[in-house]
Chains A and B, each alone.
Chain A
Amino acid sequence: MSFALEYRKKMQAKARKAQRSAKTGAQSDEGFAVPPAGKNADTRGNRRRVLAALSLAALILSVFNSGALVTYTGGLAGSPLGLRVAIASEDWHALMEKSRMTGVVESIRGAVATVRHSSWQDLAVLVAPSGGAPDEGDPGSPGAVPGPAPVLPAGDGERGRDLPGPIEVERGTQPLLKAEISR
């Protein structure tokens, strides 16, 4: 019985609290990732700032990562306007390549590929270089051309399923997300 009375009191207190906060518009800030905007927030100024920043970011990406534009616009080549856009982005990419702007991304990707294919022996050489030069034929040694990716075991043919490769989808598009309920 006392439990029922306690529960009733609790529900009434909650209802009163909800009414109070609805009147004042007050909101607890607990758990929010972002603090509430101050009453004197310069919304107009910040909006301009963000738009300018987004534009600058777009410019940086189109200069240094112009290859991504070509990949994206390639998918638009179906229509006359899309074709013009695709050609324009290819010309832009050629210009950026000529100006060596795309070299930054290529260098980073090369460095990452080297690190990805490094072995523990390569790390040991880096840490203790007097331990001996690595075999040039070692596919993991720095400077060597990375070898082919590890051979993956064949799937069980009886199961009739194909080995899924890395998900390679054209940048700028989304993969098909329709999924069967197959489990």
Chain B
Amino acid sequence: MLFPTLDFALFFLVVFALCWELRHRPETRKVFLLAASYFFYGYWDWRFTMLLAASSLINYTAGRLVGLTRDERQRKLLVGLAVAFNLAILGFFKYYGFFLDSLADLLLRLGLERDLPFMEIILPVGISFFTFQGISYVVDVYRREIKPVTAPLDIFLYISFFPQLVAGPIVRAADFLPQLREKPRLDAAMVSLGVVLILTGLFKKMVIANYLATEVVDTVFFDPSGYGAPDLIFAVYAYAVQIYCDFSGYSDIAIGVAALLGYRFKWNFNQPYRAASLREFWRRWHISLSQWLRDYLYKPLGGSRGGSLTTYRNLMLTMLLGGIWHGAAWTFIIWGAIHGCVLVLERMLQAVRGARSAVDIALAAPAARGSLSAAAVPELRKSGPVKRALAVLITFHIVCLAWIFFRAESLEYALIYLSGFGNWAEPAQFLQPFLVVMVAASLAAHFLPGDLVQRAARQLEGRSAVVLGAVLGFGILLIESVAPEGVAPFIYFQF
């Protein structure tokens, strides 16, 4: 069931009405929301509801056992088993075919062809997301950051809650479980923010992402050898905007829908293309995933606590695995590798700058020594606007380079795409005003104040139902009128 469809609108209307009717009976409310979430998930394929239930059961059981066990070695063993189970499920559905394809290629090159047990495996929607949520719950219990939940209903609902089930945000148990124990409340701020987020999410997805996908990106990436450098460059920029609007649009709708049901999620995007470094980019892009990777992969590997080489190794591993998480293809691995390499390079530059600053302090005039005054130490001054603008530009283009691999059908296509940047003989076909203005305006919007959504929501707070209904109704009408025909699936459903 996709968000921007009449099916979902009818489903949500019923869920909203009934779940607030049940607000004085919290357990019944949770059962109802759980049933609604399974209905939502089963709408794609009812068979995968069993997978969802199995994943929830594994994580609930593991959480309880880890909570009851006092022996540290046994606790560690239990959490290891739970993580292994989760990753085995994810690995089978997501990487079995890739593994066999790669093995078959390798055997062919070595002249050792074999009949391998190929299977057509259907990828369950959202498996990466709910698997990661389950792992985060068990690990948080092991780390004693949260208490294990005794009621299975809470864990089942946490893992399957429909607004974030299929494409995130990856919600932490510590953020969501306490909300399940509180009495559900709905105030004017939640209502207005919910409505504004749903409208902005629909606009981003149905208008911007869909137009760019159908008018530019899909065509150019399908056959990059047919286009010259201007179109190839423009298509990359268009894809950068498309994937941002598609994914952040979904997150906005998910957060808005959850808010209307009385639950709070964290922001998942924060104007990522205004980042002046890749490190900053990852604090603004898919925040829930980057924090998950930081807390459950990077830090357990040692983070930056070891020496420089260990830090660089941990960064590379984290980003490579982050790439693999997105999909079973070499293009995703290369995407992760590009991000990893640049993050490592940034760390190296930071270390060099830090060493230089220390030298400057040592050589500074006696009056300034011992103080970290920016006037005394030029390196400590904030970078000026020109320097920051350049850094933003460079970061954006590094991200775009990586997006080529992320979007390309295969490694071969990605290389053909890159080789096309030398072809300036072909005239531009896609640099039409409508598309250029759409891309330019979408990128420029990253530099607007970050709290515009909250400001817009405050205007709606406390307004009557007529005003709220008119905003919602005419807003959706405008979006429907402007958007292209049809409903495209969200990009992140394939992960």
Question: A35 and B481 in contact (CB under 8 A), knowing A56-B465, A60-B470, A164-B222?
Answer: no
Once the chains bind, are B222 and A155 in contact (CB under 8 Å)?
yes
B157 is an interface residue with CB less than 8 A from chain A: no
Once the chains bind, are A41 and B185 in contact (CB under 8 Å)?
yes
Once the chains bind, are B20 and A43 in contact (CB under 8 Å)?
yes
B480 is an interface residue with CB less than 8 A from chain A: yes
Please tell me which one of the listed residues A27, A32, A42 contacts residue B187 in the complex, with CB atoms under 8 A apart: A42
A59 is an interface residue with CB less than 8 A from chain B: yes
Please tell me which one of the listed residues A11, A31, A43 contacts residue B144 in the complex, with CB atoms under 8 A apart: A11
Q: Which residues of chain A have a CB within 8 Å of any CB of chain B?
A: 3, 11, 14-15, 18, 22, 25, 27, 31-39, 41-43, 46-61, 64-65, 68, 72, 104-105, 108-109, 112, 115-120, 122-123, 150, 152-153, 155-156, 163-164, 166-169, 171-175, 177-183
Q: When A and B form their complex, what is the total count of cross-chain residue pairs whose Cβ atoms lie within 8 Å?
A: 246
Once the chains bind, are B188 and A183 in contact (CB under 8 Å)?
no
Question: A14 and B144 in contact (CB under 8 A), knowing A51-B17, A105-B481?
Answer: yes
Q: How far is the CA of A175 from the CA of B489 in the complex (A)?
A: 7
Once the chains bind, are A118 and B267 in contact (CB under 8 Å)?
no
B113 is an interface residue with CB less than 8 A from chain A: no
On chain A, the residues within 8 Å of B480 by CB distance are 61, 65, 68, 105
Determine chain B's interface SS by DSSP, over half rule. Answer: helix
**B residues contacting the other copy or chain, number (CB 8 A):** 100
Q: How far is the CA of A109 from the CA of B483 in the complex (A)?
A: 9
Once the chains bind, are B485 and A168 in contact (CB under 8 Å)?
yes
Question: A50 and B193 in contact (CB under 8 A), knowing A171-B487, A181-B97?
Answer: no
Interface centre among A163, A169, A171, A181, by most chain B C-beta atoms within 10 angstroms, is: A181
Q: How far is the CA of A42 from the CA of B44 in the complex (A)?
A: 36
Interface segment, B2-10, B308-316, B336-344? Answer: B2-10
Once the chains bind, are B477 and A61 in contact (CB under 8 Å)?
yes
Question: A57 and B45 in contact (CB under 8 A), knowing A46-B187, A167-B488, A172-B7?
Answer: no
Please tell me which one of the listed residues B45, B328, B470 contacts residue A183 in the complex, with CB atoms under 8 A apart: B328
Q: Which residues of chain B have a CB within 8 Å of any CB of chain A?
A: 1-2, 5-7, 9, 13, 16-17, 20, 23, 43-45, 94-98, 101, 120-123, 125, 143-147, 175, 178-179, 181-182, 184-191, 193-195, 197, 210, 213-215, 218-219, 222-223, 226, 255, 259-260, 262, 264-267, 287, 305, 327-331, 409-410, 429, 432-434, 464-466, 468-470, 472-474, 476-478, 480-482, 484-489, 493-494
Once the chains bind, are B17 and A60 in contact (CB under 8 Å)?
no
Once the chains bind, are A172 and B5 in contact (CB under 8 Å)?
yes
Instruction: Give me 15 other A-B pairs in contact (C-beta within 8 A), A25-B181, A54-B469, A181-B95 excluded.
Output: A18-B147, A22-B147, A33-B193, A38-B187, A39-B185, A41-B186, A47-B20, A50-B16, A52-B465, A56-B466, A58-B9, A119-B432, A171-B486, A173-B5, A180-B121
